Amino acid sequence: MRLRVADVLSNKVISIEVDPNVTVRELVEAIIDALKLPRNYLYSIIYASKEIGPDKYNMTLRELGIREDDEIQIVGRPQGG
């Protein structure tokens, strides 16, 4: 399925093809690769005005109700101190 992904920091918008059974972790990894985002950040996605963070990384897109042509945002926060 195709998703529209908006990077909040750079204002870039891309389309990405993923299987509905991928986990949030796999989706985040695919987005990091596609947008060439820094790996030293902790990423969450925002879908339907809800932040989906690392605590939900093992859930699938299907479980979260994310469907074809939905739009999500990705936000990152630096890790460490």
Question: Mind listing the pLDDT tens digit for each residue in 45-55?
Answer: 999 999 999 99
User: How many domains are there within the chain?
Assistant: 1
Domain of residue 7 covers 2-78
pLDDT per residue rounded down to tens, the chain (81 residues):
999 999 988 899 999 999 999 999 999 999 999 999 999 999 999 999 999 999 999 999 999 999 999 999 999 988 875
What are the structure tokens assigned to 22, written together?
A: 């991928």
pTM of the model: 0.91
| CATH number of the domain encompassing residue 69 | 3.10.20.90
d(CA 21, CA 35): 22
